[in-house]
Structures are given as structure tokens and as C-alpha cells.
Amino acid sequence: MKVFCGRANPTTGSVEWLEEDEHYDYHQEIARSSYADMLHDKDRNMKYYQGIRAAVSRVKDRGQKALVLDIGTGTGLLSMMAVTAGADFCYAIEVFKPMADAAVKIVEKNGFSDKIKVINKHSTEVTVGPDGDMPCRANILITELFDTELIGEGALPSYEHAHRHLVQANCEAVPHRATVYAQLVESRRMWSWNKLFPIRVQTSRGERVIIPPLELERCPGAPSVCDIQLNQVSPADFTILSNVLPMFSVDFSKQVSSSAACHSRQFEPLVSGRAQVVLSWWDIEMDPEGKIKCTMAPSWAHSDPEELQEEPVVQGLALCLVAYHDDYCVWYSLQKTSPEKNGRAHPVRPVCDCQAHLLWNRPRFGEINDRNRTDQYIQALRTVLKPDSVCLCVSDGSLLSMLAYHLGVEQVFTIENSAASHRLMKKIFKANHLEDKINIIEKRPELLTPADLEGKKVSLLLGEPFFTTSLLPWHNLYFWYVRTAVDQHLGPGAVVMPQAASLHVVVVEFRDLWRIRSPCGDCEGFDVHIMDDMIKRALDFRESKEAEPHPLWEYPCRSLSEPQQILTFDFRQPVPLQPIHAEGTIELRRCGRSHGAVLWMEYHLTADSTVSTGLLKPAEDEGDCCWNPHCKQAVYFFNTTLDPRAPPGSSQTVTYTVEFHPHTGDITMDFTLSDALDSGC
């Protein structure tokens, strides 16, 4: 059966209706999941296995049958570990039906159908009793419900319900305990992901400063933590202000509460500075003694920066760092005394009230605050502006219109086709006394009329380009479609900036990211080929074959080829009617595993100025890549089975076919490896 799905096309701006398989969403969820990444995590798997063996042994030593409840079973791996460790029976809960169906098959394939019952329900819907899903309560509780915030996937409500309805009092739990840690730092770089910095512009009339509205300065920011691989942030980018503080622990073997709570820790700052960011991570102990531990701390690999309202701290002057949490979120505040003393024990979760954090994500804040990038645009603007220029800016929530005005443009119009961006830009213009100088047009570009432009022709069409609907690098080609839609409003000899764009590619070897697309086959002695096959079938669907966005500054990789330009787009001309096609060969210069191709856009502001959304500089001798941290790059994983344990080798060539389809704005691509595992390199 086929169904029609509506999709907003981020490149053309139109709404499309596409015929899809009725299970289309399921296939997308499976294809984009990270089940394979978890299965490849040997340290995690072995720690769980050790913890499960110990829990089963403790129950058996008491002369009891070991009855296991496994919430969020996924492939059924942890349940199979439990049966192998001696559990008498396991109830494996999985709410996602395709995954539950796969778990049934995997359990059967491994010969555990008589000891494991897969239940396709949310754990809060599971019943206990003679006619229920479970005849009696379990005495071992196993889960893997944690995200980088620990509780963001609803772990606390799930545990709370399980203890009340599904497991025995004082049951064994794997993991047994979790502890959340925090460390206070000063970091201009991470602070730039949360606040708008003043921008200084040198003009013929002296220095002009673009300032943020007071409302934005006082705003607590986005309510969620910033989930990044902090081990990829250079130690030079932050100053440590406190020791590592254990903020709170959760004992999963006892009744858990999802009610809001706060936990404070007094500390003395190690040095004086500006308290801007809390680095937060957690560890889990698989056993009551804490001998079997998975910790996130040593490499800072899964830490969550949480921005504070900036506070000065003085070395030796005691303060309280307070961690609050509700059922899904953790947040922090810095106070002079504990909340129990000042009566602020349970504040509400912070929420953005300035609009900026709703329109701009953290990478976008960082991009706007990137002084080098801003200087590039300023220098490019100086070369194209004339005193009598009439400028039309087209980008979501962009400050380019203000730069253009300060650099001497006679009249500036900016299109903000969403109410949220309109409100935000109006606040920023007002804070800078430009509300009467820059005209905001709130409508879609194709609906623009001469009256909107006060009867004037545009002599400079300006864009970064940046649009909030863009997911893949080339989605910002929407600027080209806007340029085409407003063609009638451009005057003779009108300048378009950027004047062109180009699509680039490099073949890479990932340190870790390859795991999310690599078949697992055998996991800790259990056959999970069925899971591999399910992911492969899901990847056969249309969108799943495409490249997918990843912030590669967080995921180290080595380039195996030189960067190569494969398509160009001339913004000085309207979007062509015919496709733009390219095919060719990429030669690999370095030894390594060819995991995939990385693609990105470069925008040519002028003939002499280019802004890259991908590689920022040539790769080092070993091929280490330096990526733009404000943008996601597109990764096309090669369709080949690679054994990461095999001796390193090198593909000789990669052939490609890439095509831009003007009617849909899509870019289709195919990459083919030759001599994929030449270990003679």
C-alpha cells in the first residue's frame, strides 16, 4: 500500500506530495538510528555483561529464580546475555514495532525463544498477573535508557513506573547507580553559542557597533543542554574554575522519583574568572560495590555544556552550584547560598523568552559571533557597495542588512518570511536605532511586489545564505530560487552576493563515525545479522540512500583524497531549466579505510572571497581534517562491508555521478569504490 506524504522542500521552498510506502516512517527511523553504533561499543557491552552476570549470581545465591525485566530491549542483546548468565526467564520490552519484530527473530535465531518473551509495548503499558504480559514481578531490572543528559529519554518515569508495578522491592538493577558530575568553566567559544556578541564595524563615519537587545542579554537561553563531543574542544578554549563536583546520584535498585528536585554543592573557585558554562557528564555503576563502571569523564567524549547567566567568581570565595532536574531535563544555576536557605529549591525549567534561541540554534550563534567570518563579509561588501545601492537581503535572521547599512547603502530591505524571525530582527534593529533605516518585508520572496520595494529596483541582492529549514549543505541553494523569483525586481547590472556556489567532496576514513553504518554480524557471541539485514533494507528507501548531515568537527576523520570541486552554481543567472550533471573519478592519495565521501558547499562572495561550510584549510600530512564548526557537512557512507579489524588498506579510486535537479532542488549522487580493501598500500 502506498500513501501520500507532504514534504516542505528546503531547497525550492515549495510543498511537495510524494508517494511513499506505508511503512516509510519506520524505515527512516531504522535507517537513521544508531543501533549499530551501540552494538559496536565493546566496552559498554562487556560492562553490561559483567553487571548482568553479577546480578543473576546474587539472585541465585539467595535461592531465588532469576526473573529479568529488560526495558528498551532493542535487539534483545541484554536479555540474551541474561539467559546465558543463568536467568530463568526474561521479559524484553520494546515499544518500536519493527525493532520488536527484529528482536523476536534474533532471539529465535540464537535459540532463546523458550526463555525470552518480547513484548511490543511501552513499559508503562505492561501488565502483571495471571492474564497479564508477565505472570509475576521481576527481581532483576535491566535497562539502557540513557542519553547524554542521562534522563532525557524518559529514564526517570520509566524506572518510577517499573518499581511501582513491574519489579519486586529491593530488586537487582543493571545498571545499579548513576552519578551526574559538573565542572564550572569560563569559555568564550562555548559562551558564543548562547549569546550575541557586539559586532564592531569600521566605516567612513567612524566605528559602528551592533549590539544585542537587552532582552536577549537577560534571556536564560535554550532550555536544552548543548550535546557535543567535548573531547574535540581544545583545552585552550576554556579555563577551569572549579574541581569536578558530584552533583547527584540515582539508585536504580530502589524506588525512583521523576518529581522535580534540586541538588547543591558548595565549592571554592580555583581561580577568579567569569562563570559561563557548566560541563556535565555522568557515569554508571553496574553493581552495588561500584567495581564495574562505565564512565564518560576521562575523554570528555559525551559531555553536555550547559550555559549559565554569566557570573563573576573570585578565587577562594565559596559558592553553590545547583543542579535541578525534572522528569526529562537537567539544568544548573550558580548561587551564593544553597537553595534550601534562600527558598528557591524548585524553580521552573528555563525557557527562551527573547525569540533568538528559538530561531538560532547554538551553531548559528557561533557562526554569527565568528569575527573572521564577519570580516570576510564586510570586506566583500566593501567591493560591491555603492552609495546609491538599493540592497535586498535574503537570509533568515541575518545581520547582513545591518552591515550593509553601516557600510553606506542608501536603502536596505530584508525579507523575513516567518513571524518569529520578523519579531527578532525588529528587536535587534530597534536596539541599534535602525528600525526606521531598514525595511523588513514579511512575506515569501515569490510574492514580492514593486510596492514592497517602494517602486525601486534592487541593485544588490545579498545573502549569506542561511535558512533555518536547511538540513543538508546544498539546501541553502534556496537562495538561488529566491534570486530567480525576484529577478523582475533586479535593476540593470544588479550585483548578486554571493555570486556563485560550488559543491566539494573528499573521501575520508572516520575514527568512530563509521560504526553507525557498519554491519555488526556477531555481537559478544550473539548472532545479530537480522538487525544488519533490517537496516540494509531500510537503507534501500529513497531518502535513506542520500547523504546525511553530521557536525564533523566532533567526529575526527582523515582525508584519503584531495578535496575536489564537482558542481558549480552561478547565482548571477536564474536557476537553469536543465539538470547540472557531473561524473568523474577521485584518486586516493593516502592509506586507510574508505568509509565515505564528505560533501560541503563553498560560497563565492566575490571573485576573490570564498566562505567554506566544510574544510577550512588543507589537510595535514596525515590527512587530519579541520571542519567548519558552525555547519553540518553531508556524509555519504559507501555501500560496502568493511571489517575494521582487517589490516589497513586503500581503495585506488572512487567513481562518482552527481546531478542537481532544478525542478526539485534535489542533488542525487552515487559513489562506487574500486579495489576496496587493497591491504598492500
CA nearest neighbour of 388 among 414, 408, 410, 406? 410
Cα distances (Å, whole numbers) of residue 521 to 110, 345, 514, 532:
12, 50, 15, 7
CA angle, 518 then 521 then 524, to 5°: 110
**Residue 337: strand, helix, or coil:** coil
How many angstroms separate the first and last alpha carbons of the chain? 49
Q: What DSSP string describes 478-528?
A: HHHHHHHHTGGGEEEEEEEES-EEEEEEEEEEESSGGGGGS---EETTEE-
Instruction: Kindly tell me the sign of the dihedral angle through the C-alpha atoms of 143, 148, 151, 154.
Output: negative
Question: What is the amino acid identity at position 327?
Answer: D
Strands (E), 286-378: 293-295, 304-313, 319-325, 330-335
The residue among 258, 286, 250, 303 whose CA lies nearest residue 176 is 286
Taking the CA atoms of the chain, what radius of gyration do you get in angstroms?
Answer: 28
What is the C-alpha to C-alpha distance for residues 395 and 610, in angstroms, rounded to an integer? 18
Going by C-alpha positions, the residue among 646, 116, 616, 87 that lies closest to residue 376 is 616
Whole-number Cα distances in Å, 164 to 123, 127, 562: 12, 12, 59
Taking a C-beta distance cutoff of 8 angstroms, is the pair 485, 449 a contact? no
Tell me, what amino acid is at 468? Answer: T
Please classify residue 647 by burial: count the beta carbons closer than 10 Å to its beta carbon, then call 0-12 exposed, 13-18 middle and 19+ buried: exposed
Q: Which amino acid, one-letter code, is at 618?
A: P
The angle at the Cα of 674, spanning 680 to 600, to the nearest 5 degrees, equals: 110
Q: What DSSP string describes 120-178?
A: -S-GGG--BSTTSSBSS-EEEEEE----TTSSTTSHHHHHHHHHHHTEEEEEEEES-EE
Rounded Cα distance between 1 and 253, Å, is: 46
Pair type for strands 390-394 and 458-462: parallel
Summary count for the chain: helices (H), strands (E)? 16, 35
**In whole angstroms, what is the distance from residue 137 CA to residue 124 CA?**
14
To 5 degrees, how large is the angle CA 365–CA 368–CA 374?
Answer: 160
* Residues belonging to the active site: 144, 153
The packing angle between helices 529-538 and 97-109, to 10°, is 150
- Burial class for 558, CB neighbours closer than 10 Å (0-12, 13-18, 19+): buried
